Structure 1
Amino acid sequence: MKIIVEENYAQMSRVAANLLLGKMYQNKRVNLAITAGSTPVKMYEYLIEDVKNKTYLDNVHYYNFDEIPYKKKSGYGVTMNNLNKLFFEPAAINPDQIHPLDETNYKTQDLRIEQDGGLDLILLGIGADGHYCGNLPGTTTFEDLTSYVGEDATEDMQEILLSEVGGDENERPNFYVTMGPKSVMQAKEIVLFATGKKKAKIIKQAFFGPVTNNVPASLLQVHPNLTIILDKEAASEIL
């Protein structure tokens, strides 16, 4: 486990962008699973400038690792819509390089990635409860591959689903799909990043405490190639 602590959010975002770029420059197919949300916003701003109209990066393929479908809207779900707005569209990524995960193909996701050569890197955030992707406490176990999480989702997850669709009860789905812990751990490299004081407690708990299903991200500490990128506030309890 390598921990990188930068002074502030902008600097940690630049480091995260650099790590992804280092993978992209390889002379082979590169498979990346990337995250949406608020933490990567600045990183994508850097990456857009770095990758837009760079035809020599057409070897890079992108996978979303979870998806929350809208209940009524058609087309992409929450995750892919966010990734499109944050990165794929402004960076002019060729659609042939984007491989969405959704409720129609989640059962074949792990085989598809394996046949594509496996994930070279997966970029994760972390929730205050220690979740990553859609792996909240009580929703998946360490043995789960890519999964459908249905109406038995926890109350916390139901609240997250509601917030992800803008608080619109009419659009809140009753399920989502996610790469499970076992799927994530098959990636050749894991990069997790976090910003802000509100993440300091869970960073210490997840990566300096016991490995437990109660803190899903704690499993990541046993991955042989894990990098954690933090700003000083997120790292304040481990410095």
Structure 2
Amino acid sequence: MNIVRAKDYQDMSKKAAGIIASQIIMKPNCVLGLATGSTPIGAYENLVEWYQNGDLDFSKVSSVNLDEYRGITRENDQSYYYFMNKNLFGKVNIDKANTHLPDGMESDSDKACSDYNKAIEAVGGIDLQLLGLGHNGHIGFNEPSEEFVPDTHCVDLAPSTIEANKRFFASYDDVPKQAYTMGIRNIMLARKVLVVVSGEDKAAIVRDAFFGPITPKVQASVLQLHPNVTLVADEAALSLI
């Protein structure tokens, strides 16, 4: 694992964006695995700025997102489809036909998951997978469990995850309780993995995930087995290692 120490969130965002930009420049038709949440927003802002300055071209890039809430429409401002269009897709020249997210409105979970596994295979796999890190060690919506689930699946969100997402909704009751998410094998088959983490509140899970035992109770710990992982984190998030 390569650990890149950043001074603060802004520095972390710029360093992470630089790694993503390098992937696009080296392979213009690359497949990016993308993440949502508050942590990647700064990286997306940098990528948009570099595109607007003429330094990046997304026209041949394809993308697959980690997850999507189940039972929420794409038009809902809390859907991850909406998030990606607001923060990246709507601001660069990526072909929307080449962007992929699980279908949150597909009520048949087996079909939704099977279709998404096929979509990942159809684009040729993931060149660079961007990940955030949940307080409980989840990556995507792979919550602490007794096992590593390999492929895209429907997951019941942990109470801590629902609580963390509550700030984006009118009330706790409005937060979706399920999501479709890539599985651990989907993530581990990415040729490169980029993890971004910021804040002192993540220091303990950074320590546990990357320097503790490999266990499905800390899903991110499996990344210790990946041959090409880069962790970009600020000083606060790295304070316990």
**TM-score tier after normalising by the smaller chain length:** 0.7 to 0.9
Question: Where does residue 156 of structure 1 map in the other structure?
Answer: 160
Structure 2 unaligned runs (5+)? 107-111
Match of 1:115 among 108, 122, 125: 122
Letter in 2 for 1:114: E
Q: CA deviation at 1:211?
A: 0.2
Matched, 1:167 2:174: no
Structure 1 unaligned runs (5+)? none
Could you say what secondary structure the match of 1:210 adopts?
Answer: coil
Question: Where does residue 50 of structure 2 map in the other structure?
Answer: 50
Letter in 1 for 2:150: D
2:150/2:186 contact within 8 Å kept: yes
1:24/1:59 contact within 8 Å kept: no
Label 1:91 to 1:115 Cα distance change in 2 as closer, same or farther (>3 A).
closer
Label 1:166 to 1:64 Cα distance change in 2 as closer, same or farther (>3 A).
farther
Label 1:57 to 1:159 Cα distance change in 2 as closer, same or farther (>3 A).
closer
Measured against aligned partners, the alpha-carbon deviations of 1:157-207 in whole angstroms (never above 9, x if no partner) come to 4445655544262x4434210001121111111110101111111101110
Matched, 1:218 2:218: no
Q: Give the distance between the partners of 2:13 and 2:74, measured in 1 at CA.
A: 33
Could you say what secondary structure the match of 1:63 adopts?
Answer: strand
Question: Where does residue 141 of structure 1 map in the other structure?
Answer: 147
Q: What's the TM-score, normalizing by structure 2?
A: 0.87
Matched, 1:128 2:139: no
Label 1:131 to 1:181 Cα distance change in 2 as closer, same or farther (>3 A).
same
Letter in 2 for 1:47: L
Matched, 1:78 2:79: yes
Percent identical among aligned pairs is 32
Could you say what secondary structure the match of 2:42 adopts?
Answer: helix
Question: Where does residue 188 of structure 2 map in the other structure?
Answer: 185
How many residue pairs were aligned? 233
Q: What's the TM-score, normalizing by structure 1?
A: 0.87
Aligned-residue CA RMSD (Å): 2.3
Q: Give the distance between the partners of 1:174 and 1:12, measured in 2 at CA.
A: 30
Q: Give the distance between the partners of 1:50 and 1:11, measured in 2 at CA.
A: 15
Q: Give the distance between the partners of 1:124 and 1:181, measured in 2 at CA.
A: 12
Pairing 1:81-92 to 2, within 5 Å after superposition: 81-92=82-93
Q: Give the distance between the partners of 2:172 and 2:213, measured in 1 at CA.
A: 37
1:146/1:180 contact within 8 Å kept: yes
